[in-house]
Amino acid sequence: MPMIEAAGKSFEVDEEGYLINLSDWDEGIAAYLANEEKVELTPNHWEVINFLREYYSEYQIAPAIRVLTKAISKKLGADKGSNKYLYKLFPYGPAKQACKIAGLPKPTGCI
Amino acid sequence: MSDQEMDMEEGGVVKQFMFVNRKAPYGTIYALEGLEVVLISAAFEQDVSMAFIDDGVYELKKGQDTKALGQKNFSPTYRALEGYDIEKLYVEKESMAVRGLTVEDFAVDVTVLDHAEMAAKMAEQDVLISF
Q: pLDDT tens per residue, chain B (131 residues)?
A: 445 544 544 567 899 999 999 999 999 999 999 999 999 888 888 999 999 999 999 999 999 999 999 999 999 999 999 999 999 999 999 999 999 999 999 999 999 999 999 999 999 999 999 99
Q: Is residue B66 part of a domain?
A: no
Q: Measure CA B30 to chain center.
A: 12
Any bridge partners for residue B21, and if so which? B52
User: What count of Cα atoms within 13 Å lies in the side-chain half-sphere of residue A92?
Assistant: 11
Furthest-apart CA pair in chain B: how many Å? 52
Do the interacting molecules here have an ipTM over 0.95?
A: no
Q: Is residue A50 part of a domain?
A: yes
Query: Could you give the number of structural domains in chain A?
Result: 1
Q: Is residue B4 part of a domain?
A: no
Asked whether the beta carbons of B91 and B61 are under 8 A apart, the reply is: no
Q: Is residue B117 part of a domain?
A: yes
Query: Could you give the number of structural domains in chain B?
Result: 1
A59 touches B: beta carbon within 8 Å: yes
Terminal-residue alpha carbon distance, chain A: 22
State the average pLDDT for chain B: 92
- Domain span at residue A77 reads 3-101
A69 closest CA partner among B82, B83, B45, B69: B83
Residue B26 sits in a domain of what CATH number?
A: 3.40.1260.10
Which residues of chain B neighbour A61 with C-beta distances below 8 Å? Answer: 39, 74, 77, 80
Q: Which residues of A, range 19-38, sit inside 8 Å of B by Cβ?
A: none
Amino acid letter for position A14? D
Q: Is residue A109 part of a domain?
A: no
Q: Which residues of B, range 81-100, sit inside 8 Å of A by Cβ?
A: 83-84
User: What count of Cα atoms within 13 Å lies in the side-chain half-sphere of residue B94?
Assistant: 8
Distance CA B90, CA B107 (A): 13
Furthest-apart CA pair in chain A: how many Å? 39
Range A10-33 average pLDDT: 90
Residue A34 sits in a domain of what CATH number?
A: 1.10.10.370
Q: Is residue A65 part of a domain?
A: yes
Distance CA B97, CA B118 (A): 15
Asked whether the beta carbons of A2 and A76 are under 8 A apart, the reply is: no
Partner-chain contact B83 A71, CB within 8 Å: yes
